[in-house]
């Protein structure tokens, strides 16, 4: 009998004595025997022996052992013990198999299971740990048919690494042998009962997926250094996988970034432990190590004893022109919204997520719908949006306000970490929202935003972080110096004994301190077999070095790596580059009729193993694997290797697939689809998609994007066979976007061109639409007679076509122009007709506009009762359809009317309601106006201290917002306060400063006549005081007027 047989028999005999010896004693005795048996079995079946049943593979090993078995054996009949354990193991074995594991063997009351022994999966370590946690849950829920004297508990150890798979014994059973298995057994023995203990080799594969707690290092036989271990507590509710970095499975330590890492750690502590909002922008050139620093920071943060919410997003070049794409990605990550989710499912996930975080807010559903619509998830059928859909500016303002409320609520529950990558490619709409969010969240909000971007972010978006004094830190990564580069080479090639200086200096000299460049140089040397990785050690073939041509640029290095791929691998990588940084297996299949599915999937797996691409989970589209290029530079190099004719056909295939798979949510992908059509050479389809994207952008108040889309579409349609009607409509849309952006000259040019072309073709309705745009331009630029002429012409054409919706809108605009001119009766009649038509059609936006103007006109015509009636109608309708901004305007107008009637208490009540409404919607300019009007009411009511508080808060806010007419009103009312208190000279000097401001207008003169007569100074003294005031520095006068007043936060 040889030693292997003796040990096998001894282990079996000891297992029969478990009831006598006890679990702990038996575990301590069996572990060294099993380790010795595994070593003998491996020596008897060396890996060098040719055999079809032996191979080295990367696997994850689970050892599980049940404690409490001894007590059960002592107190129960043997048959009951057998039945109980069989029942339990049926449940536990089912979990192992369901998670893709293979049961290697049962050993008494324990089991050994393997992941990766058959079909290897990238997530085998994650599956093994998930199985271990589920086994613990199943044991906790296990209710045997017999009464146990002591509860059963289980210890589980998990390890990952290379092992020898081969046949053992006379029956040829397949098992795993080696150090990886031994360490797993040792982990199980050291694991506390009821826990799951994993090694650092396993942990590095699952960082970010599980809640873990570091344990003391474990001494293991055959290991020169103690094994770092971690106790797994639970699966994270929202996994954030952190990928390891290195070459050929060698994980390297970060080099040369310790100071920056320490800064991030300090800011984390400040944000989370001291409740202080912190925004960190990590910048550096491509490949400089930004992602690695983020990875190390995450690895450190994972081990901190504090819980937080994670919000994550990554911008991409393909989504750069899609309004609010980055913002949508933040919520898609948090609420697990897949791009392939039907719209109803996406709505449900967003609603559930918002209502969970804002469970105490009765208005949470409304806020979710407003924000969701801004994100592009089309809530146009929501009853909460019916009063907002025709007012994109107000909808956007509401969404910004609600977003701030949402994140404030989040951070009141727990700190939050927001991680935003590749921000240099973010859409401007999302950047605007983020700037607003970080500027308006309380300074004490425990939120840390880690933003990673190339320096071009500050070129394309100079405003980034400009409004965050004391909250924004910029960390700029520089290239590694020579010493740091040599250190990194040593880390990457740590398995090469006595690394030749020639290799080290070759890599260091070529990489110029860029870690990604350096890493790719080494991989190129591996591809060319200068460096040859082995299982334990790597070798260098110095003789090959002379034949190697070291590229002088990173692009050339990447090109050399592409050249080393197989034809299929290179083809798949090139086609992936057409899709973008993130791509999907099913998309590539749709673009690859010349490839078998198995060949394509094998190529993707090979590219993943070579670390040219990474897989990402979960996939944005259900039912297909998602991948990402390791680096955007690799994508660019792969794309440039395609011939132009190849690119065109592939882009058309990509557009077709993306249109199909996005389904009813195609609108969210219109800019990407248009890009593919344009690059594919189908300019008509590209222009059509761009026009649709522009209309959606206008609906979301993404005005710059809308203008860009319209301009691109018109450029593409600049050809003889262009669809003329489409061109006219695009020019009208472009004029609308330019008006809202304040670019009146361009709006005039596009609208005139549209009107002329439509007129030549007798397209009357399009001429009318173009004339409306020209009327708006004229009104905004103070040319009210021109505006009336344009609008009269537009009304005639709309009436000829019986286009009643257009008639109502034109009449309302015409009435406004005539009011400005002073033709009050005509203005009244036109607005009255607009009101009647809009009411018939249910056009609430035009109806509100007409009613509000009728109120103003009634007051000007001396009909105060009619004025009040119209304002009340505006208020009632605005509240019924959810247009709170218009409701606040109506309340303010009712307050002004009450004040003119000298009923200042009623005026104050209206102004207070207007203030409350504006604060509910985040309308800051409205808030400033209502605060100032409340100050005026308090002056008139003799509440002078309260008046000063309101005026100071409102005037400061107006000045901060750049709302100059409102600021001037605030200073004017300060003068009135001093005047009422008897400080006449000071009042006149303050008034003189206000009158000298460019924003002083006819309405200011009217207020002066109403509130400052009769004068209390002789004419000469009055003139001199006003002149002195006019000489005052405006900022000094403003500061003096608002001195010692409270902020808006103090007036609630």
What confidence tens digit (pLDDT) does each residue in 820-874 have?
888 999 999 999 999 999 999 999 989 999 999 999 899 889 898 999 999 999 9
- Name the helix (H) or strand (E) containing 899: helix 884-900
- Strands 278-283 and 472-476, how do they pair? parallel
Mean pLDDT lowest for which of 44-58, 626-640, 833-847?
44-58
- Strands 102-107 and 55-67, how do they pair? unpaired
- The whole-number pLDDT of residue 43 equals 58
- The whole-number pLDDT of residue 1000 equals 79
Query: For the residues 456-482, what does the mean pLDDT come to?
Result: 90
Mean pLDDT lowest for which of 84-88, 109-113, 787-791?
84-88
User: Does pLDDT of 50 surpass 50?
Assistant: no
Write the DSSP symbol of residue 963. -
Distance of CA 881 to the CA centre of its chain: 31
- The whole-number pLDDT of residue 426 equals 94
3-state secondary structure 536-582: CCCEECHHHHCCCCCCCCHHHHHHHHHHCCCHHHHHHHHHHHHHCCE
User: Does pLDDT of 87 surpass 90?
Assistant: no
More confident residue, 56 or 774: 774
Query: For the residues 440-452, what does the mean pLDDT come to?
Result: 94
Distance CA 847, CA 837 (A): 8
User: Does pLDDT of 923 surpass 90?
Assistant: no
More confident residue, 7 or 180: 180
Joined tokens for residue 775? 């009327």
pLDDT band at 526 (very low <50, low <70, confident <90, very high): confident
More confident residue, 973 or 514: 973
Secondary structure class of 613 (helix, strand, coil): strand
Residues shown for the chain: 1052
User: What are the tens digits of pLDDT across the range 543-569?
Assistant: 777 666 666 677 777 888 888 889 999
Mean pLDDT lowest for which of 13-27, 977-991, 1008-1022?
13-27
Distance CA 705, CA 495 (A): 52
Distance CA 770, CA 839 (A): 24
- Strands 416-421 and 309-314, how do they pair? parallel
- The whole-number pLDDT of residue 174 equals 65
User: Does pLDDT of 40 surpass 70?
Assistant: no
Closest CA to 746 of 768, 777, 723: 777
More confident residue, 152 or 911: 911
- The whole-number pLDDT of residue 49 equals 41
User: What are the tens digits of pLDDT across the range 686-740?
Assistant: 999 999 999 999 888 888 899 999 999 999 988 777 788 999 999 999 999 998 8
Which runs of E-coded beta strand occur in 39-172? 55-67, 102-107, 110-115, 153-168
User: What are the tens digits of pLDDT across the range 637-663?
Assistant: 899 888 888 999 999 999 999 999 888
pLDDT band at 15 (very low <50, low <70, confident <90, very high): low
User: Does pLDDT of 51 surpass 50?
Assistant: no
User: Does pLDDT of 170 surpass 50?
Assistant: no
How high is the mean pLDDT of the chain?
A: 85
CA pseudo-torsion sign 383, 387, 391, 395: negative
Closest CA to 18 of 87, 81, 93: 81
Closest CA to 769 of 758, 783, 785: 758
Query: For the residues 169-195, what does the mean pLDDT come to?
Result: 81
Contacts of 1037 by beta carbon, 8 Å cutoff, 6+ apart: 971, 990, 993, 1029
Distance CA 533, CA 742 (A): 63
Angle at alpha carbon of residue 518, lines to 517 and 524, rounded to 5°: 85
More confident residue, 237 or 492: 492
More confident residue, 259 or 53: 259
- The whole-number pLDDT of residue 1045 equals 52
Is residue 184 within 8 Å of 196, Cβ to Cβ? no
Is residue 834 within 8 Å of 811, Cβ to Cβ? yes
User: Does pLDDT of 20 surpass 70?
Assistant: no
Joined tokens for residue 887? 């409701």
More confident residue, 987 or 130: 130
pLDDT band at 279 (very low <50, low <70, confident <90, very high): very high
φ, ψ for residue 283 (rounded to 5)? -120, 160
Query: For the residues 616-635, what does the mean pLDDT come to?
Result: 83
Query: For the residues 129-152, what does the mean pLDDT come to?
Result: 81
Is residue 698 within 8 Å of 706, Cβ to Cβ? yes
- The whole-number pLDDT of residue 470 equals 84
Closest CA to 715 of 738, 692, 698, 690: 690
Is residue 708 within 8 Å of 714, Cβ to Cβ? no
Other residues' Cβ atoms within 10 Å of the Cβ of residue 209 = 22
Query: For the residues 981-1003, what does the mean pLDDT come to?
Result: 81
pLDDT band at 188 (very low <50, low <70, confident <90, very high): very high
User: Does pLDDT of 817 surpass 50?
Assistant: yes
pLDDT band at 48 (very low <50, low <70, confident <90, very high): very low
User: Does pLDDT of 576 surpass 90?
Assistant: yes
Across the strands, what pairs with 451? 281, 420
Secondary structure class of 788 (helix, strand, coil): helix
Mean pLDDT lowest for which of 82-91, 439-448, 937-946?
82-91
Whole-structure pTM over 0.85, yes or no? no
User: What are the tens digits of pLDDT across the range 406-435?
Assistant: 999 999 999 999 999 999 999 999 999 999
Is residue 583 within 8 Å of 618, Cβ to Cβ? no
């Amino acid at each position: 009998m040889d030693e292997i047989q003796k040990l096998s028999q001894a282990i079996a005999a000891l297992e029969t004595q478990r009831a006598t010896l006890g679990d702990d004693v038996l575990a301590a005795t069996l572990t060294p025997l099993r380790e010795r048996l595994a070593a003998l079995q491996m020596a008897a079946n060396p890996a060098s022996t040719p055999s079809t049943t032996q191979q080295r593979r990367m696997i994850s090993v689970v050892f599980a052992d049940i404690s409490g078995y001894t007590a059960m054996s002592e107190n129960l009949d043997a048959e009951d013990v057998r039945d109980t354990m069989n029942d339990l193991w049926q449940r536990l074995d089912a979990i192992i198999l369901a998670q893709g594991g293979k049961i290697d063997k049962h050993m008494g009351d324990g089991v050994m299971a393997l992941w990766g022994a058959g079909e290897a999966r990238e997530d085998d370590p994650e599956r093994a740990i998930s199985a271990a946690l589920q086994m613990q849950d199943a044991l906790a829920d296990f209710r045997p048919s017999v009464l146990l004297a002591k509860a059963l508990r289980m210890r589980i150890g998990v390890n990952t690494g290379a092992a020898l798979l081969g046949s053992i014994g006379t029956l040829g059973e397949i098992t795993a042998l080696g150090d990886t298995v031994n360490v797993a057994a040792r982990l199980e023995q050291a694991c506390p009962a009821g826990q799951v203990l994993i090694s650092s080799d396993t942990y590095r594969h699952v960082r970010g997926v599980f809640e873990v707690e570091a344990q003391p290092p474990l001494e293991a036989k055959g290991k020169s250094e103690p094994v770092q271990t971690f106790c797994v507590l639970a699966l994270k509710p929202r996994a954030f996988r952190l990928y390891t970095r290195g070459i050929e499975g060698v994980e390297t330590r970060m080099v040369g970034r310790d100071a920056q890492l320490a800064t991030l750690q300090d800011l984390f502590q400040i944000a989370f432990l001291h409740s202080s909002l912190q925004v960190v922008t990590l910048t550096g050139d491509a490949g400089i190590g930004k992602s690695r620093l983020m990875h190390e920071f995450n690895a450190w943060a994972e081990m901190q004893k504090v819980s937080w919410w994670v919000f994550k997003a990554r911008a991409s070049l393909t989504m750069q022109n899609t309004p609010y794409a980055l913002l949508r990605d933040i919520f898609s990550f948090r609420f697990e919204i897949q791009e392939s989710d039907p719209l109803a499912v996406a709505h449900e996930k967003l609603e559930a997520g918002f209502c969970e975080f804002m469970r105490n807010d009765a208005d949470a559903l409304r806020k979710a719908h407003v924000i969701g619509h801004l994100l592009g998830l089309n809530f146009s059928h929501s009853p909460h949006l019916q009063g907002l859909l025709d007012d994109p500016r107000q909808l956007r303002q509401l969404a910004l306000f609600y977003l701030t409320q949402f994140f404030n609520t989040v951070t009141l529950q727990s700190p939050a970490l927001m991680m935003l990558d590749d921000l240099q490619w973010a859409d401007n709409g999302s950047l605007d929202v983020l700037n607003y969010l970080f500027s308006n969240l309380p300074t004490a909000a425990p939120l840390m935003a880690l933003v990673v971007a190339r320096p071009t972010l500050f070129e394309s978006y100079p405003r980034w972080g400009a409004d965050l004094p004391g909250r924004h830190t910029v960390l700029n990564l520089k290239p590694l110096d020579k010493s740091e580069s040599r250190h990194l080479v040593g880390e990457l090639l740590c398995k090469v004994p006595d690394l030749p200086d020639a290799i080290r200096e070759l890599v260091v000299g070529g990489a110029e301190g860029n870690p990604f460049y350096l890493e790719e140089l080494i991989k190129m040397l591996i591809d060319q077999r200068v460096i040859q990785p082995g299982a334990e050690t790597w070798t260098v073939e110095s003789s090959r070095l002379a034949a190697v041509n070291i590229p002088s640029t990173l692009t050339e290095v990447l090109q050399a790596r592409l050249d080393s791929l197989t034809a299929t691998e290179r083809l798949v990588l090139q086609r992936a580059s057409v899709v973008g940084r993130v791509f999907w297996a099913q998309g590539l299949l749709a673009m690859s009729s010349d490839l078998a599915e198995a060949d394509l999937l094998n190529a993707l797996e090979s590219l993943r193993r070579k670390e040219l691409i990474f897989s990402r989970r979960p996939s944005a589209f259900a039912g297909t694997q998602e991948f990402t290029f390791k680096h955007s530079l690799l994508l660019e190099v792969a794309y440039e290797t395609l011939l132009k004719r190849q690119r065109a056909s592939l882009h058309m295939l990509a557009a077709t697939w993306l249109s199909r798979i996005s389904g009813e949510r195609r609108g969210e992908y219109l800019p990407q689809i248009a890009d593919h059509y344009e690059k594919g050479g189908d300019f008509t389809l590209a222009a059509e998609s761009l026009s649709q994207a522009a209309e959606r952008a206008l609906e979301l108040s993404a005005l710059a994007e809308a203008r860009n889309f319209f301009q691109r579409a018109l450029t593409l349609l600049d050809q003889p066979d262009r669809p003329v009607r489409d061109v006219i409509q695009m020019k009208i849309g472009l004029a609308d976007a330019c008006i809202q952006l304040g670019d009146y000259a361009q709006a005039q040019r596009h609208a005139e061109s549209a009107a002329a072309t439509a007129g030549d073709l007798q397209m009357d309705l399009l001429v009318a639409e173009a004339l409306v745009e020209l009327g708006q331009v004229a009104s905004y630029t103070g040319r009210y007679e021109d505006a009336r002429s344009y609008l009269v012409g537009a009304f005639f054409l709309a009436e000829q076509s019986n286009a009643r919706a257009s008639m109502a809108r034109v009449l309302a605009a015409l009435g406004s122009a005539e009011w400005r001119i002073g033709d009050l009766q005509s203005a009244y009649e036109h607005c009255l007709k607009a009101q009647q038509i809009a009411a018939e059609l249910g056009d609430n936006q035009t109806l509100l506009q007409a009613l509000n103007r009728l109120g103003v006109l009634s007051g000007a015509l001396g009909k105060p009762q009619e004025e009040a009636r119209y304002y009340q109608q505006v208020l009632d309708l605005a509240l019924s359809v959810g247009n709170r901004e218009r409701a606040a305007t109506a309340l303010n107008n009712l307050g002004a009317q009450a004040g003119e009637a000298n009923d200042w208490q009623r005026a104050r009540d209206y102004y207070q309601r207007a203030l409350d409404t504006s604060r509910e919607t985040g309308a800051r300019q409205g808030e400033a106006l209502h605060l100032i009007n409340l100050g005026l009411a308090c002056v008139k009511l003799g509440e002078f201290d309260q008046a000063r508080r309101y005026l100071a808060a409102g005037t400061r806010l107006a000045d901060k917002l750049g709302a100059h007419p409102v600021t001037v009103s605030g200073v004017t009312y300060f003068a009135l306060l001093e005047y009422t208190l008897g400080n006449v000279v000071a009042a006149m000097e303050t008034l003189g400063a206000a009158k000298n401001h460019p924003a002083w207008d006819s309405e200011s003169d009217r207020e002066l006549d109403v509130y400052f007569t009769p004068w209390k100074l002789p004419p000469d003294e009055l003139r001199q005081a006003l002149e002195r005031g006019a000489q005052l520095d405006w900022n000094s006068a403003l500061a003096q007027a608002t001195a010692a007043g409270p902020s808006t936060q103090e007036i609630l």
